[in-house]
Amino acid sequence: MRGGGTDAREVWRGWLRVAAETAALAVAMPQVFLFLYYARDLAVGSGARAPFARALALYGLAVAQVSAPYVIALTLALRVLIRRRVRVGVTLGCAVAAGYLWVAVWNGLILESFSYGGATVPILLCSLVFAGYAAARRLYLDSLEPLLPPRPAAPAAGENEAAGLSG
Amino acid sequence: MRTLEVIDLGADADYAEVLARQEALHARRAEGGAADTLLLLEHRRVYTLGRSAEAGHVLLSEEALERAGIACVRASRGGDVTYHGPGQLVGYPILHLGEAGLRVLDFVAGLEEALIRAAAGYGVEAGRDPRNRGVWVGGSKLAALGIRVARQVTMHGFALNVNTRLEDYGGIVPCGLRGVGVTSLSALLGRPLEMGEVKARVAASFRAVFGYAEGGV
């Protein structure tokens, strides 16, 4: 009974981590993108940076709300990439492509807000963080592997046949 | 009756900052997460080039612009080149045209009507020019319009010259129209006007024209 409870708790903890990771990415990614996109205006705009930063934070929340399905799909894709131990370069390439795709979808379906040239640096930096996180998570999982009990080997087909279990 | 939220962003507003605010409001309005909103403000000195603007309509060099302290930015609205600066009342309506049952041309005509009524409150008889959009007094432009509509929600809007430094228009061909004058309410009345009062009048006429319940700024 106790073992079953612990298993359930582990499953819940796993789901909570996935939900927290997804929510953090869905909220943080648009914020980071927008602050990078408007970094120059924020830096050279004379005075009153705090209201501008507040406006960008609110804009980020609006973007997060509207593009939540896309970012959630992206987070799930990231999990697949980590699980499949895809190389960092491939993850980075996928992230850059996903970034430009997001800009194209936003410009096409929501509002033509971002220039592709202006979005390049924010996309690259966000993608580097994305790929870096994937690499770090993969290293962490690799480091855990020696601690996990070895999985029992699947019985060979020949063994079943020998026991008269086939057919 | 529908309600309109009027937000006063004050003076010396940075163009990029207000653009970010507009885009955020636009995204939320299109998703149904915000009410119709009218932003009222005065910009820091800036020339903005609309989507159909010719770069040659900015007559000052980059160095001259820098010396004059006037920024120059590309804007996603329609129209040509215009000027924004202190003493000019800029209004950015974020309205859902579909919910209001308006076509784009009705909306533009409504904007003109709201500004004509506000000017009439000061005894200024302004009107339309069938060839060129905006609000005119004689042959001079009192207010410029430049809007954008996406997902049936509007952004950008109007610029009404209240106490504007009209010399700043000398650096551009306003709205791409050569030989056309620009005027302001203060130039027409021979006295400066209190911006808070103009904002209240514009908000009131805007609400009346577009059928919103009365309210404050």
CB contact under 8 Å between A66 and B20, yes or no, is: no
CB contact under 8 Å between A48 and B23, yes or no, is: no
User: pLDDT at residue A138 above 70?
Assistant: yes
Q: Which of residues 69-88 of B touch A (CB under 8 A)?
A: 76
Q: CB contacts < 8 Å between A and B, how many? A: 64
Question: What is the structure's pLDDT at A150?
Answer: 63
Question: What is the structure's pLDDT at B153?
Answer: 96
Q: How far off is chain A from B174, nearest CA to CA, in Å? A: 25
Residue B72 designated active-site: no
What's the pLDDT tens digit per position in B35-53?
Answer: 999 999 999 999 998 877 7
Residue B86 CB partners (closer than 8 Å, separation 6+)? B11, B12, B42, B43, B44, B45, B163, B164, B165
> Residues B155, B162, B175, B198: which is the catalytic one?
B175
Identify which of A38, A58, A113 has the alpha carbon closest to the alpha carbon of residue B148: A113
A68's enclosing H/E stretch is: helix A68-83
CB-facing half-sphere around the CA of B212: CA atoms within 13 A = 24
pTM: 0.80
The residue-averaged pLDDT of A78-93 equals 86
Query: Of A56-60, A72-76, A123-127, A151-155, which gets the smallest average pLDDT?
Result: A151-155
Q: Name all domains of chain B by residue range, CATH numbers in brackets.
A: 5-210 (3.30.930.10)
User: pLDDT at residue A161 above 50?
Assistant: no
B109 vs A165, higher pLDDT: B109
Provide the ipTM.
0.74
Question: What is the structure's pLDDT at B56?
Answer: 82
B123 vs A157, higher pLDDT: B123
List the alpha helices (DSSP H) in chain B.
15-30, 62-68, 97-100, 104-120, 185-189, 195-210
Question: What is the structure's pLDDT at A147?
Answer: 65
Residues of A with CB under 8 A from a CB of B: 34, 38, 41, 45-48, 51-52, 55-56, 58-59, 61-63, 65-66, 110-113
Q: Residue type for B150, please?
A: A
What's the pLDDT tens digit per position in B104-163?
Answer: 999 999 999 999 999 999 999 999 998 889 999 998 999 999 899 999 999 999 999 999
> Whose structure tokens read 């998570």?
A137
Query: Of A19-23, B18-22, B52-56, B106-110, which gets the smallest average pLDDT?
Result: B52-56
Q: Determine the residue of chain A that is closest to B17 in CA distance.
A: A52
CB contact under 8 Å between B23 and A112, yes or no, is: no
CA distances from B200 to A138, B118, B196, B213 (A): 59, 9, 6, 14
- Residue from the list B20, B25, B31 with its beta carbon closest to the beta carbon of A65: B31
- Residue A7 tokens read as 């298993």
